[in-house]
Structure 1
Amino acid sequence: MMKSKFTLQSYVRSCTLISNNQNPIRLMLNPKTKFNDIMKLIQIVWRQNVQQLRLFLIDGTEIEEKDLINIQKGTNLYAQLKNDDNELSNLKSEYDIIKRVGEGGQGIVYLGKHKVTQELVAIKKISSSKQQNLELERLEQESIILKQLDHKNIVKLHEKVVCSNQKQVFMIMEYLQGGSLLTQANSQLTESEAKHFCKQVVEAIAYCHEKKIVHCDLKLENIMLSSLLQKEIKIIDFGVSNYAGQPLITENIVGTLSYLAPEVLSSSYKQIYPPQDVWAIGCIIYGLVFGKLPFDGNNPSETYRNILSCNYQIPKKSVSKELLQLLSSIFVVNPKDRANIFDIQSHNWFKEYAKIFKLNLSGFNVRIGRSSSVTKMYSSRKSYDEDQGLIISHRKIVFSRRSVTRLDKVSYVAKIK
Structure 2
Amino acid sequence: MAGSSWGPPRLEGFILTERLGSGTYATVYKAYAKKDTREVVAIKCVAKKSLNKASLKDFQWDSDNIYLIMEFCAGGDLSRFIRTRRILPEKVARVFMQQLASALQFLHERNIAHLDLKPQNILLSSLEKPHLKLADFGFSQHMSPWDEKHVLRGSPLYMAPEMVCQRQYDARVDLWSVGVILYEALFGQPPFASRSFTELEEKIRSNRVIELPLRPQLSPDCQDLLRQLLERDPGRRISFQDFFAHPGWTWTTCPTILVVQAVQKDQEGDAAAALSLYCKALDFFVPALRYEVDTQRKEAIKAKVRQYVSRAEELKAIVSSSNQALLRQGASAGVLLREMARDKPRLLAALEVASAAVAKEEEAGGEQDALDLYQHSLGELLLLLAGEPPGRRRELLHTEVQNLMARAEYLKEQIKMRESHWEAETLDKEGLSESVRSSCTLQ
What is the identity, as a one-letter code, of the residue corresponding to 1:183?
R
User: Residue deviations 1:235-264, cap 9 Å, x none?
Assistant: 11101111115675xx75121111111111
User: Residue deviations 1:147-194, cap 9 Å, x none?
Assistant: xxxxxxxxxxxxx4223x4x3211111111211111332312111111
How far 1:303 sits from its partner (Å)?
2.4
Give the equivalent residue in structure 1 for 2:95: 196
What is the identity, as a one-letter code, of the residue corresponding to 1:278?
L
How far 1:126 sits from its partner (Å)?
2.1
Q: Distance in 2 between matches of 1:314 and 1:233?
A: 25
Give the equivalent residue in structure 1 for 2:398: none
What is the identity, as a one-letter code, of the residue corresponding to 1:161?
Q
The counterpart of 1:121, out of the listed 38, 41, 44, is: 41
1:138–1:239 Cα contact (<8 Å) kept: no
Q: Does 1:347 align with 2:262?
A: no
How far 1:103 sits from its partner (Å)?
4.6
User: Residue deviations 1:305-342, cap 9 Å, x none?
Assistant: 33232542211221111111112222222222221233
How far 1:94 sits from its partner (Å)?
2.6
The runs of 5 or more residues in structure 2 that have no matched partner are 4-9, 254-443
What is the identity, as a one-letter code, of the residue corresponding to 1:315?
P
Q: Does 1:305 align with 2:202?
A: yes
Distance 1:104 1:290, change over 3 A: closer
Distance 1:162 1:220, change over 3 A: same
> Aligned pairs, how many?
240
2:151–2:167 Cα contact (<8 Å) kept: no
What is the identity, as a one-letter code, of the residue corresponding to 2:191?
P
What is the identity, as a one-letter code, of the residue corresponding to 1:328?
R
The counterpart of 2:178, out of the listed 281, 285, 294, is: 281
1:98–1:111 Cα contact (<8 Å) kept: yes
How far 1:233 sits from its partner (Å)?
1.0
Superposition map of 1:307-326 within 5 A? 307-308=204-205, 309=207, 311-317=209-215, 318-326=217-225
Give the equivalent residue in structure 2 for 1:222: 121
1:205–1:341 Cα contact (<8 Å) kept: no
What is the identity, as a one-letter code, of the residue corresponding to 2:115?
C
Give the equivalent residue in structure 2 for 1:96: 15
Distance 1:337 1:102, change over 3 A: closer
2:162–2:234 Cα contact (<8 Å) kept: yes
Q: Distance in 2 between matches of 1:345 and 1:139?
A: 35
Distance 1:268 1:100, change over 3 A: closer
The counterpart of 2:140, out of the listed 216, 222, 241, is: 241
Distance 1:137 1:285, change over 3 A: farther
The counterpart of 2:131, out of the listed 232, 240, 243, is: 232
Q: Distance in 1 between matches of 2:89 and 2:134?
A: 22
Normalising by structure 2, report the TM-score: 0.49
2:77–2:123 Cα contact (<8 Å) kept: yes
Distance 1:106 1:326, change over 3 A: same
Question: Aligned with 1:126: secondary structure?
Answer: strand
CA RMSD of aligned residues (A): 2.8
Q: Which structure shows the higher strand fraction? A: 1
Q: Distance in 1 between matches of 2:27 and 2:227?
A: 41
How far 1:120 sits from its partner (Å)?
1.6
The counterpart of 1:327, out of the listed 226, 238, 249, is: 226
What is the identity, as a one-letter code, of the residue corresponding to 2:203?
N
How far 1:122 sits from its partner (Å)?
1.3
Superposition map of 1:175-190 within 5 A? 175-186=72-83, 187=85, 188-190=87-89
Q: Distance in 1 between matches of 2:151 and 2:239?
A: 25
Give the equivalent residue in structure 1 for 2:160: 261
2:32–2:38 Cα contact (<8 Å) kept: yes
Q: Distance in 2 between matches of 1:294 and 1:103?
A: 26
Give the equivalent residue in structure 2 for 1:296: 193
1:125–1:168 Cα contact (<8 Å) kept: yes
Question: Aligned with 2:60: secondary structure?
Answer: strand
Q: Distance in 2 between matches of 1:340 and 1:198?
A: 16
What is the identity, as a one-letter code, of the residue corresponding to 2:182?
I
Distance 1:172 1:190, change over 3 A: same
Superposition map of 1:13-412 within 5 A? 92-103=11-22, 105-116=24-35, 117-129=37-49, 131-133=50-52, 137=54, 160-163=59-62, 165=63, 167-186=64-83, 187=85, 188-244=87-143, 248=149, 252-269=151-168, 273-308=170-205, 309=207, 311-317=209-215, 318-352=217-251
Distance 1:241 1:334, change over 3 A: same
What is the identity, as a one-letter code, of the residue corresponding to 2:199?
E
Question: Aligned with 1:334: secondary structure?
Answer: coil
How far 1:107 sits from its partner (Å)?
4.0
* Higher relative contact order (CA closer than 8 Å, sequence separation 6+): 1
How far 1:87 sits from its partner (Å)?
11
